[in-house]
Amino acid sequence: MSVNVQKPSRELSIDETLTWTFDLYFRNFAAFFVPMIIAAVVTGVFGAFLSDYILHMPPLDTGASSQEVWNWLSTYLPGLLIMAFTLGMLSWIVSTTASGVVVKCTSNSIEKGTANLGKAFSSAVTRLPSLLVAGFIYAILVGAGLIALIIPGIILAIMFSLNVPAIMIENAGPLGSMSRSRKLVSGRWLKTFTLLLIIILIVGLISFVGSLMAAPFGIFSLLASSIISAFVEPILPISLAVYYYSMLGREQQQRVPPPPPPPF
């Protein structure tokens, strides 16, 4: 689908970034929604299998002996751990791929006026190793920072927030994307934090309402909740891609030489 959007030649305000985000999303809804709904269905179906496995585990008697407890754990815990690990890895891979696709679609919409879902998916799969490694490093650093008095984790989350656009748009490597993100948001810490906070609150609130609505579906509650959340989850990667181009516009502004002094 074609969208009439021009690449920003200057830094956008938060209001402008949000306006661009929602404008791009609504104009090309299918290209952004399809990757997320596929990821939601895949994750939700496997989550339903895990829920069904847990529900069919026989309860452990209150007065069970240590041998009975051990027998119960050795019988059911390995299968539970394997399924939980598989679900976690699968969710990580499909969600990372979906985010990469959405960022690439956003980039193509801004630079070329069109979003080709097939080409974006191919690009995301090609860069998937870099996306996964960068995501793993990001999670470790931010997680460790959050454990260490929370504030360092927030700072690291802001610093490396543009690593996915750097990979998908500039084809940067995992470490290079971290460095590029840090450079782009330098001097815009509060602005970046404010934008991320707004987007996370929007997505988080709607996802929370979706989880409440999906609760009556039993073992399929995760699937239903994921489908509802898929409607808003593209907002975050779209906004990050738009903000990435906003920071590129800022870089261009800084490179423009000042006008020559008057001759007198």
Residues 194-231 have pLDDT tens digits of: 999 999 999 999 888 888 888 887 777 878 888 888 89
The amino acid that residue 250 corresponds to is: R
Residues β-bridged to residue 2: 114
The answer to whether 56 and 108 are in contact (CB under 8 A) is: no
Greatest Cα pair distance in the chain: 97
- Confidence band for 257, pLDDT divided at 50, 70 and 90: low
Better-predicted residue by pLDDT, 37 or 3: 37
The residue behind tokens 């996370």 is 200
Residues in the chain: 264
CA 185/CA 125 separation, integer angstroms: 27
C-alpha atoms less than 13 angstroms from C-alpha of 146 in its C-beta half-sphere: 9
Whether the pLDDT of residue 48 is over 90: the answer is: no
pLDDT at 224: 84
Minimum mean pLDDT among 30-34, 70-74, 127-131, 194-198: which range?
A: 70-74
User: Average pLDDT for residues 38-45, to the nearest whole number?
Assistant: 86
3-state secondary structure 152-212: HHHHHHHHCCCHHHHHHHHCCCHHHHHHHHHHHHCCCHHHHHHHHHHHHHHHHHHHHHHHH
Cβ atoms within 10 A of the Cβ of 232, count? 19
Rg from Cα positions in the chain:
22
Question: For residue 199, what are the CA distances in angstroms to 15, 80, 204?
Answer: 12, 34, 8
Tokens of 111: 């630079």
**Average pLDDT along the chain:** 87
Q: Which residues contact 120 (CB under 8 A, 6 or more apart)?
A: 31, 100, 101, 102, 104, 105, 108
Among 67, 32, 11, 60, CA closest to 242: 11
Better-predicted residue by pLDDT, 244 or 260: 244
The amino acid that residue 68 corresponds to is: E
Whether the pLDDT of residue 103 is over 60: the answer is: yes
User: Which secondary structure element, helix H or strand E, spans residue 234, and what is its range?
Assistant: none
pLDDT at 256: 58
The residue behind tokens 């895990």 is 50
pLDDT at 3: 44
pLDDT at 126: 95
pLDDT at 263: 60
User: Average pLDDT for residues 166-184, to the nearest whole number?
Assistant: 94
Among 31, 88, 4, 11, CA closest to 237: 31
Residues β-bridged to residue 114: 2
The answer to whether 38 and 98 are in contact (CB under 8 A) is: yes
